[in-house]
Amino acid sequence: MVLLSTLAPGVARAERDADGVWRVGRVLEGEPIQWLASDPNERAHVWAASRDGVWRSIDRGVTWRRAGLDGRVVKALAVSPHDARTVLAGLKPAGVALTRDGGDRWHELHGFRAARRFWWWSPADPPGRVPYVSAVAISPDDPRVLIAGVELGAVVRSEDGGRSWSPHRRRADRDCHDQRFHAVDRASGAPVWRHALPRPEGAGLWGFAASPAVGARHVYAATLDGRLLAFPTQ
């Protein structure tokens, strides 16, 4: 088992050996890593978003190589569950970029610019109050369906691979830090945004994980005060 976690800067890497002993080290030391994304197609592959582009590992985080967007502030990543070479990136200033060749070439999805609003802003990442895309996700059912969350301003959706984007999704939280597609029974009808996770007393939710299995009954959330919580989805 291998666990990876962002540091400030760098990444912590913990691996449990056959005797059950954990060995902890640091990789990407000195790099301002913002986000880690695992590859659902290949367990040994992982991606890292940095304030200076994207990094990729193919050996469970032991070694890393640059994977494009050098000089760009990258705040979030999502690897397509349909194609390991397709990766979506959330940028600062607010924008979305896509690669279809494993990071050799990236192109910005210019249709996202039409979704921008003048009142988007963020006090969370100084200097200034420049908004950024803090979370992205690719639908496991349809590779053309993408969602992006803006800190602070909106959750928007594309159904055509990023060529066009919706306005803010009704009832979604405008202060979005993380996003996942949660598998549901399609017979239950069209998806509806709802506040499924109550805010725990004394702490905000920061990141969460959802099972890819249809019928999974819980999502798991991390809080700002270090707790891991499970919430029913039905």
Are residue 158 and residue 213 in the same domain, yes or no? no
User: Residues 2-22: what's their mean pLDDT?
Assistant: 91
Are residue 174 and residue 223 in the same domain, yes or no? no
Q: For residue range 72-128, list pLDDT tens digits in order.
A: 999 999 999 999 999 999 999 999 999 999 999 999 999 998 888 888 988 888 888
Q: Give the model's confidence band at 201: pLDDT under 50 very low, under 70 low, under 90 confident, else very high.
A: low
pLDDT at 95: 96
CATH code at position 110: 2.130.10.10
| Residues 25-53: b if buried by 16+ CB within 10 A, e if exposed | eebbeebebbbbbbbbeeeebbbbbbbbb
User: Residues 119-148: what's their mean pLDDT?
Assistant: 90
Q: Give the model's confidence band at 29: pLDDT under 50 very low, under 70 low, under 90 confident, else very high.
A: very high
Strand pairing report for 53-57 and 65-66: antiparallel
Please check the confidence at residue 156 and state whether its pLDDT lies above 90: yes
Are residue 133 and residue 218 in the same domain, yes or no? no
User: Residues 20-24: what's their mean pLDDT?
Assistant: 92
Are residue 145 and residue 218 in the same domain, yes or no? no
In a domain, 231, yes or no: yes
Percent of the chain with pLDDT over 90: 56
In a domain, 81, yes or no: yes
Are residue 177 and residue 204 in the same domain, yes or no? no
Q: How far apart, in whole angstroms, are the C-alpha atoms of residue 91 and residue 77?
A: 9
Q: Give the model's confidence band at 190: pLDDT under 50 very low, under 70 low, under 90 confident, else very high.
A: low
In a domain, 76, yes or no: yes
Are residue 167 and residue 124 in the same domain, yes or no? yes
In a domain, 188, yes or no: no
Which of 137, 153, 181 marks a domain boundary?
Answer: 181
Percent of the chain with pLDDT over 70: 79
In a domain, 191, yes or no: no
Are residue 85 and residue 167 in the same domain, yes or no? yes
pLDDT at 116: 83
Strand pairing report for 132-138 and 53-57: unpaired
Are residue 40 and residue 135 in the same domain, yes or no? yes
What global pTM score does this model have?
Answer: 0.83
Number of independent structural domains in the chain: 2
Range of the domain at 227: 200-234
Q: How many CB atoms lie within 10 A of CB 222?
A: 16
In a domain, 173, yes or no: yes
